Structure 1
């Protein structure tokens, strides 16, 4: 593959203040999936490879206002403990084969047993992708002698190794002769019906997709759909994030509801002045009432006695 990036030994630190939600995604298939892998990485906002594990990549993207980190694992097609472990902890999977390669199709059939070994026989959401590009096995074998290590055979090199890989993979991009294409169509081409039948091996949430990977422009949408499906099936996945957001909103609401010290003092002074004026008015009212009573009594005197 031609993907280049900065290696890292830890998941990339998200730029957002709130923590990202981590999703485990496994990517399996023959060498025909190389171009699709490139498109998945390019569709992310940021991607990095683990410095110690060449089969592990981190893809950063935001889906429905949720910061996400996809741990994309490609353990290879060899039956190993690492592949079994990756399948068991995977929350979603992308499986890829070529319609022009019967061997790539049958290799995925053997992987189905590892998915059945998952705890509780719970199958994750799976995209089974058939690559319809005209690339035949002979074209690959003529230029693939450099694949010596299974864990690195998918093209996860960088620097000079990546440059060499791009030059050799460029041969794969040439259009095969019509004779080879016609021969592949007649002898080894895998039909869509066979692909639909294979989905039954990977549980009820396996979706078959037939496409030309070379012309495929929906890599971002593919990743977003898998993340949304995971969130729908695992309601606890977003609980920590939603809880933190709720606490943040409550903290903002409580802080805005508090009265500032200056406003409190002003309110207290206005209140005290109002109470004092009210008290004075009440006392004055009482004095006026007594004077009226005295005047009333004097007015009731009918005569004045004079002493000589």
Structure 2
């Protein structure tokens, strides 16, 4: 029941020569236990403000592996350890910066621990295929690293330490772990930072989710309002002036159409009248030609009398059958008659 109510967070302990730091973490916890299957994973139980906090502590080496990359990505906090008197342990941390860029929680706290002990213990060799060990601290092997010659040892300077801390954007702490004694306060402070950062992250995520939901609701309302206003304006927002203009334009179109029809009717009548006049002209020309043929024969009394009758008949014809061309033909015929007589 206690486990279900407790908060669980993930912390990664990475680096070389971290044996003493791991012992200090276990000593600061009320109790700890090892994972049944994964022997590089431990569960540490802390009591903070009457709340039980379970820290899933993962031990990772400096080798670039998929397991280490995943542990860095999913961690809520990272503790990095190196031995200042062993430059190799410091140089191995150069590849961490790229892995830290892939973290899900960019604000997760990081603590860089600089161990200035002259002699450090080797890290225990853990294997996932080994048998399950007890939760006692004596399960961790205690091998001692042989001292190197003073001439071959080069200590990492504090400037190098600060430069690495700046690259990783983290805090740094220098101490001798063999003489530090209990580190309960330091460890508990780091656990509190993990909890506070996680709480702020969750609050920020909740706030962002709320803002997104609010934006969606507001956007839907605006869309609905725009749709309603557009439909209302298309049906009922037509002014009387616009109606009158539409009526006037319609009447103008009808008047123009009627005028056009009247014009077409007049043109049709005019064309019909012109065609009738052309027919009369053709008939008159034909009569004139027949008269000319008659007059081309020798002049005899009978022919003269026949011509006179024809001439008089033409003179008494209705004026509507005479056009401009008939008048000209009649004048020419009369002049010819006078010449014959």
Counterparts of 2:139 and 2:32, CA distance in 1:
21
TM-score, structure 1 normalization: 0.57
Runs of 4+ residues deviating >2 angstroms: 149-152, 155-159, 162-166, 180-184, 230-239
Q: Identify the structure with the greater helix proportion.
A: 2
Long gaps (5+) in structure 2:
204-341
Q: Is the 8 A contact 2:44 2:56 kept in 1?
A: yes
* Offset from partner CA, 1:118-154 (integer Å, 9 cap, x none): 237x142111001111127xx96xxx9x95x6779xx
Aligned to 1:287: none
* Offset from partner CA, 1:223-277 (integer Å, 9 cap, x none): 21122212332326898xxxxxxxxxxxxxxxxxxxxxxxxxxxxxxxxxxxxxx
Shift of the alpha carbon at 1:75? 2.9
Aligned to 1:130: 114
1:197 aligns with 2:150: no
2:10 maps to which of 24, 39, 47: 24
In the superposition, relative to structure 1, how do residues 181 and 130 fare at CA in structure 2: closer, same or farther (>3 Å)? farther
1:68 aligns with 2:56: no
* Offset from partner CA, 1:87-114 (integer Å, 9 cap, x none): 0111111000000111100111211211
Which structure is higher in RCO with an 8 Å CA cutoff and minimum separation 6? 1
Shift of the alpha carbon at 1:26? 0.3
TM-score, structure 2 normalization: 0.52
The structure having more radius of gyration, on CA atoms, is 2
For residues 1-308 of structure 1, the aligned pairs below 5 Å read 14=2, 19-30=5-16, 32-119=17-104, 122-135=106-119, 147=125, 158=133, 166=141, 169=143, 171-172=144-145, 176=147, 180=148, 182-183=150-151, 187-203=153-169, 206-235=170-199
Q: How many residues align?
A: 201
Q: Is the 8 A contact 2:87 2:156 kept in 1?
A: yes
Counterparts of 1:215 and 1:193, CA distance in 2:
23
